[in-house]
């Protein structure tokens, strides 16, 4: 048994497949880079057979990642296994993760297969997967609700067939800590061949127990935990990676085992994921929430000033939360910006630094002091990758309480093909007018589902960050924009969505043209 817990990150598979969390290929690649920077052991990059886009996404990640193992999910059938095998081919270290349901409910109503048939399918899939890689993981879907003797039989057959990781998922988030500890103890001691494989836990948070159950599985002998950043995933989500990692580290005295995660990168990676998917992290979220290291009450502040450990069990800097909030200004140079971004957990390529530096100079001209949170917003804005084809040429809005005049927005947009178009909209609300003008110029009808503006940093000249969620006829998109001007930030967020829709349409048209 290994002396540490492997972190199997499924942000890009289980997380990405949850409604409202889908990412483009480029965004998945940026997230994979962040996960590699965190030193997770395995990146589950997608489900190769799901779509050509998934396949290409996994392949691109396999080509880029050098340290972590890159994994693709596959059902126990030939097409899925072969697609996964091809997708992970470029990886330095590649894994196929194949699964089949084993519980009575799934056997009878979903698969309509008997016990023997399922064992046969599992064996055939694992043997085929082994033709592509030595690193094969097998999951008994809905393992928690599977009869123990049958679970043991399937697992033994899987080990015999060549699986080296055995995953025992709580697919429906049903188990409790005591129960799962006991199950892992049973499997790691009773299963023939148990010493030669790693047992893995995959817990869902339907009862809010995913992290507790994953830790309990480790107590029972699990040496791999499947988890996702910010706890994203199907339904209530997966075990939150930042929580399980920091629990093992902070309570090493209790668990006696750790991971190899570079925890200083956690906060940056969490922020990046939130920006890319447009799903903000709740303020009170453990480890990565805005309040996780804030001390507001007088008694707490007094204690922390005397000795931080009175109310802090972890150091904020250990998860990459900056506490010194150094200020940069318009005379700060490229090196200072790069250094600051790195302190905040972001690694910038020369190209990224160049474009962020330009935005930084503009911002430093608009406001005197540039705080860490401003820099974070610039980096995330760049990472979200909202480049063209449309950009805002000019924007003017009038609004107020004069009942004889409607709020009015005059918007001019420039397309990268050179044309500029202007539209004037009068609507009941000023933001409605802005969004309407953008929709009309770009000929993209959309329904606004959610719109929020928050202040990125303190002070009168603080930067505003706007997020929108918008539905088109076919899909829901999230957009983000930042500026010292609230209206401009909002317009940018809306245009971010328009650009995503247009890029997607262009991509689909080019795929269609190939056929
Ligand atoms: Mn799952």
Peptide bond into 389 cis (omega under 30): yes
Residue 157 structure tokens: 């057959």
Centre of ligand 1 to C-alpha 47, Å, is 12
CA 30, CA 435: separation in Å to the nearest integer?
29
Residue 488: alpha-carbon gap to chain centroid: 27
Centre of ligand 1 to C-alpha 260, Å, is 23
* Residue 68 per-residue DSSP state: S
6-277 against 390-514: fold identical? no
CA 333, CA 364: separation in Å to the nearest integer?
11
Centre of ligand 1 to C-alpha 100, Å, is 13
Strands (E), 319-428: 390-398, 408-415, 420-426
The predicted structure's pLDDT at residue 366: 76
The three-class DSSP label of residue 117 is helix
Question: How many secondary structure helices (H) and strands (E) does the chain include?
Answer: 17, 14
Residue 414 structure tokens: 């420039």
Mean pLDDT of all residues in 357-369? 81
Q: What is the pLDDT of residues 431-481, one digit of tens each?
A: 999 999 999 999 988 899 999 998 877 777 788 888 888 887 777 777 888
Q: Report the binding-site residues for Mn(2+).
A: 14, 202, 204, 238
Centre of ligand 1 to C-alpha 92, Å, is 25
CA 88, CA 320: separation in Å to the nearest integer?
31
Centre of ligand 1 to C-alpha 440, Å, is 41
Centre of ligand 1 to C-alpha 251, Å, is 26
Q: Report the binding-site residues.
A: 14, 202, 204, 238
Query: Terminal CA-to-CA distance of the chain, rounded, Å?
Result: 51
Domain 390-514 adopts which CATH fold?
Answer: Double Stranded RNA Binding Domain (3.30.160)
Centre of ligand 1 to C-alpha 49, Å, is 17
The predicted structure's pLDDT at residue 478: 79
- Near ion ligand 1, which residues have CB within 5 Å? 14
The predicted structure's pLDDT at residue 445: 85
Indicate the pLDDT class of residue 515, thresholds 50, 70 and 90.
very low
Residues in Cβ contact with 356 at an 8 Å cutoff, skipping those fewer than 6 apart = 337, 341, 348, 378, 379, 382
Q: How many CA atoms lie within 13 A of 436 on its CB side?
A: 15
Centre of ligand 1 to C-alpha 462, Å, is 40
Residue 156 structure tokens: 């033994």
pTM of the model: 0.79
Centre of ligand 1 to C-alpha 203, Å, is 7
pLDDT at 186 over 70: yes
390-398 and 408-415: which strand pairing?
antiparallel
Residues in Cβ contact with 438 at an 8 Å cutoff, skipping those fewer than 6 apart = 411, 413, 491, 494, 495, 498
Q: What is the pLDDT of residues 389-444, one digit of tens each?
A: 888 999 999 999 888 899 999 999 999 888 999 999 999 999 999 999 999 999 98
Counted residue by residue, the chain has a size of: 515
The predicted structure's pLDDT at residue 77: 97
Q: How far is CA 272 from CA 254, 293, 346, 507, in A?
A: 32, 19, 9, 24
Domain 6-277 adopts which CATH fold?
Answer: TIM Barrel (3.20.20)
β partners of residue 70: 43, 94
Centre of ligand 1 to C-alpha 229, Å, is 14
pLDDT at 486 over 50: yes
Largest CA distance in the chain: 82
pLDDT at 379 over 90: no
Q: How far is CA 45 from CA 58, 72, 131, 347, 356, in A?
A: 5, 6, 20, 21, 28
Centre of ligand 1 to C-alpha 233, Å, is 7
The three-class DSSP label of residue 224 is strand
Q: Domain limits of the chain? A: 6-277, 291-321, 329-382, 390-514
Centre of ligand 1 to C-alpha 383, Å, is 27
Indicate the pLDDT class of residue 483, thresholds 50, 70 and 90.
confident
């Amino acid at each position: 048994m290994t002396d540490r817990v492997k972190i199997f990150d499924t942000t890009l598979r289980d997380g990405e497949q949850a409604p409202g969390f889908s990412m483009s290929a480029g965004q998945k690649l940026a997230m994979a880079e962040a996960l590699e920077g965190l030193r997770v052991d395995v990146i589950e990059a997608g489900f190769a057979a799901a779509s050509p886009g998934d396949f290409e996404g996994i392949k691109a990640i396999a080509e880029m990642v050098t340290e972590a193992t890159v994994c693709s999910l596959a059902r126990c059938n030939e097409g899925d296994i072969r697609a996964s095998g091809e997708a992970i081919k470029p990886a330095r270290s590649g894994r196929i993760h194949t699964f089949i349901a084993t519980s009575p409910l799934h056997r009878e109503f979903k698969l309509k297969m008997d016990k023997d048939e399922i064992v046969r399918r599992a064996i055939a899939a694992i043997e085929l997967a082994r033709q592509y890689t030595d690193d094969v993981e097998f999951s008994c879907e809905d393992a928690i609700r599977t009869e123990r003797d049958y679970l043991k039989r399937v697992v033994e057959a899987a080990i015999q067939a060549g699986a080296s990781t055995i995953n025992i998922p709580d697919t429906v988030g049903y188990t409790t800590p005591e129960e799962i500890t006991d199950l892992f103890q049973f499997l790691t001691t009773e299963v023939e061949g148990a010493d030669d494989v790693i047992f893995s836990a995959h817990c869902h948070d339907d009862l809010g127990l995913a992290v507790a159950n994953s830790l309990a599985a480790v107590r029972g002998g699990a040496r791999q935990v499947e988890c996702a950043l910010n706890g994203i995933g199907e339904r209530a989500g997966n075990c939150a990676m930042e929580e399980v990692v920091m629990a093992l580290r902070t309570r090493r005295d209790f668990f006696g085992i750790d991971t190899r995660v570079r925890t200083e990168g956690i906060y940056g990676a969490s922020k990046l994921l939130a920006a890319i998917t447009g799903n903000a992290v709740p303020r009170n979220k453990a480890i990565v929430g805005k309040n996780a290291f804030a001390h507001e009450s007088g008694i707490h502040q007094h204690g922390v000033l005397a000795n931080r450990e009175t109310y802090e069990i972890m150091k904020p800097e250990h998860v990459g939360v900056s506490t010194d909030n150094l200020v940069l200004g318009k005379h700060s140079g490229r090196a200072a910006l790069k250094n600051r971004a790195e302190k905040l957990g972001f690694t910038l390529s020369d190209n990224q630094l160049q474009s962020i530096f330009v935005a930084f100079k503009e911002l430093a001209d608009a406001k005197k002091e540039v705080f860490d949170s401003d820099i974070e917003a610039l980096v995330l804005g760049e990472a979200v990758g909202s480049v063209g084809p449309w950009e805002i040429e000019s924007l003017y809005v009038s609004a107020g309480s004069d009942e004889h005049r409607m709020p009015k927005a005059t918007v001019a947009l420039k397309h990268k093909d050179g044309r500029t178009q202007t539209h004037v909209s009068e609507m009941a609300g000023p933001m409605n007018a802005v969004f309407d003008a953008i929709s009309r110029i770009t000929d993209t009808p959309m329904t606004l589902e959610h719109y929020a503006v928050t202040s990125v940093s303190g002070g009168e000249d603080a930067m505003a960050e706007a997020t929108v969620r918008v539905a088109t006829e076919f899909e829901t998109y999230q957009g983000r924009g930042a500026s010292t001007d609230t209206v401009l930030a909002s317009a940018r967020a809306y245009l971010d969505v328009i650009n995503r829709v247009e890029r997607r349409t262009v991509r689909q048209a080019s795929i269609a043209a190939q056929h």
